[in-house]
Every structure is written in C-alpha cells, then in structure tokens.
C-alpha cells in the first residue's frame, strides 16, 4: 500500500470478498475519562491499546484504527487468508484475558475496565483516504454490523454474527443468543464465544 501510494500518489480501492472485522470498547470509559487527568487518560488508553496491538500482530491481523476508546481491526486483508475468522476470535479471547488480568493487578485507585467485543465476517472495500495523514480504512455493511455487534455485546463477552459463527463453530464453543434487534438491519442471529474447543499449542 505504501509503495503504491509513493509511486502513484493514490491507492486504488480494493474489494475483499471475505474479511473478519472486530470492534472493541470499554464499558463505562466515558464516565472514568471525565474524572481522569489528560495525562492519566492517555497513559491508560495507550496501555490497553498497545497490548491489543501486540495481540493483533501475533495473530497476523491488521489494526485499522482507534477512535476514543474504540479499537478496530480486521483479518483477511491486505492479503487474503483462509483462517481469518478463527484468528480473529482467538485474538478476541486474548484481549478479554488481558483485560481480566489487568482487573486483578490494578491498584484500587485505578479504574478497572470491562471490554465489549463484536465480530462479523463478510465483504468489505479497503483503501486509503485523505491527502494528509493517510489512513488505510475499510467500509461496507460488514463493518457496520460488526460495530452493532459490539454495542449489543455484554461486558467481558465476545459477540459474533452468524457469518462468523459458521466459520469457527468447529474450533470454538459458542452460546446462541437468539435473534436480536440491530439498528437499520432488523433481527440478526448472534452468538457469544464461550471458549476454544482445543487448547492452542504455544512455543
């Protein structure tokens, strides 16, 4: 992408038929932020998002952007892969585990956060926008639904769509939530990820 931008001054938008998108945010973050100093707020956000960056990189995924306390990443681009849904759910489990560990380690005077995660799989369009501070971004209904799934999730839970569930159901134990109303989309079937069926082998 960087090479194309340097050579042509722009990047052609590209459609990907199957990408898994994750949104994460922290319950009650706005209320905590109002009581924190700017320095403490930035330090806290950086601490969590730096850990998320490491998790995303470990699983071969792509960080897209952060907005406030919202973190967005994707799998299956810029180079298509077959196992992006599984890698994303594994990364989400690692994110939840990290936040839970932080709750146990954090001093009483520091805020303890709960993370909410939503994941969806489907087609997206990716490209670079703007003329300054170029940003690689993705668009499409898949992205919108992933954001809605995060909003509909519960603290400490990973809420996934039917599309993602279909791709990871053999490797992950999931809990069917039923059909839930989603803004501008009607009712969608949703699942909470419970745990990985087989433990991962780590080096």
Phi, psi dihedral angles at 52 (to 5 degrees):
-65, -40
Structure tokens at 83: 């196992």
Active-site option among 10, 14, 103, 183: 183
Known catalytic membership, residue 10: no
Active-site option among 148, 157, 177, 195: 148
- State the residue for tokens 């990290």: 98
Structure tokens at 161: 């769509």
- State the residue for tokens 């180079």: 79
Give how far Cα 190 sits from Cα of 72, 96, 148, 167, 180, Å: 19, 18, 11, 14, 7
Known catalytic membership, residue 65: no
What's the rounded Cα separation, in Å, for the pair 117 and 158? 5
Provide the residue count of the chain.
203
- State the residue for tokens 């898949």: 142
Query: Beta 62-67 vs 14-26: how paired, if at all?
Result: unpaired
What's the rounded Cα separation, in Å, for the pair 175 and 75? 23
List residues with catalytic annotation. 148, 183
């Amino acid at each position: 992408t960087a090479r194309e931008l340097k050579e042509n001054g722009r990047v052609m938008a590209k459609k990907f038929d199957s990408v898994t998108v994750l949104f994460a945010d922290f319950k009650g973050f706005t209320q905590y932020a109002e009581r924190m100093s700017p320095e403490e707020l930035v330090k806290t956000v950086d601490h969590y998002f730096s850990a998320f960056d490491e998790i995303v990189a470990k699983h071969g995924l792509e960080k897209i952007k952060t907005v406030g306390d919202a973190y967005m990443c994707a799998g299956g681009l810029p180079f298509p892969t077959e196992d992006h849904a599984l890698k994303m759910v594994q990364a989400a489990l690692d994110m939840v585990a990290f936040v839970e560990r932080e709750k146990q380690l954090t001093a009483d005077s520091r805020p303890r956060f709960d993370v909410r995660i939503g994941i969806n799989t489907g087609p997206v369009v990716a490209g670079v926008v703007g003329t300054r501070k170029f940003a690689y971004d993705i668009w499409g209904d898949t992205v919108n639904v992933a954001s809605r799934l995060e909003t509909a999730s519960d603290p400490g839970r990973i809420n996934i769509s039917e599309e993602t569930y279909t791709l990871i159901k053999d490797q992950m134990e999931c809990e069917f939530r039923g059909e839930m109303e989603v803004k501008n989309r009607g009712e969608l079937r949703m699942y909470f990820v419970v745990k990985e069926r087989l433990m991962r082998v780590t080096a």
